[in-house]
Amino acid sequence: MLDNLVQGEYEVECLDCEVSLFIVLGEDGFFSCSDDYALRDVERTPLRPADPAELEGLAKQLHDRALADGQPVVALRLTYLFGRAACTDCGTVFSVADSVVANAIPDW
């Protein structure tokens, strides 16, 4: 799932209302939105990054590795990946990483 981090975009479903959302962490900024933000103006909700000092476990390892490898842009994006996003439809605030993982698991 980390390839998307370099591309700067994840497509997830809201864990509450199941609307499709884009999580954007890239040159266009850090926000969540529904629909295709590249094609037209849509509502954008700012992402809330994690505090790097409060990262733990895998998140901390990835962040430390990115900094050690001289990849501050990747390190910054990781703080948003492990931060929170709000659904533009229902307003539910959720963990970006949790939603990415949930969407990576196929429905049985």
Closer Cβ to Zn ion, 14 or 96, answer by number: 14
- Cβ neighbours, 10 Å, residue 29: 12
Q: Does 16 bind Zn ion (CB under 5 A)?
A: yes
Output the six-digit token pair for 75. 């390190």
Closer Cβ to Zn ion, 55 or 88, answer by number: 88
> Which residues are paired to 48 by β-bridges?
84
Closer Cβ to Zn ion, 36 or 69, answer by number: 36
Who's near 44: CB < 8 A, 6+ residues apart?
29, 31, 32, 33, 37, 88
- Report the site for Zn ion in 74-93 (rule: CB under 5 A): 87, 89-90, 92
The 3-state DSSP class for residue 85 equals: strand
Closer Cβ to Zn ion, 59 or 83, answer by number: 83
Q: Does 17 bind Zn ion (CB under 5 A)?
A: yes
CA–CA dist 45, 30 (Å, integer): 9
> Which residue among 12, 14, 74, 97 contacts Zn ion (CB under 5 A)?
14
Residues of this chain that bind Zn ion (CB under 5 A): 14, 16-17, 87, 89-90, 92
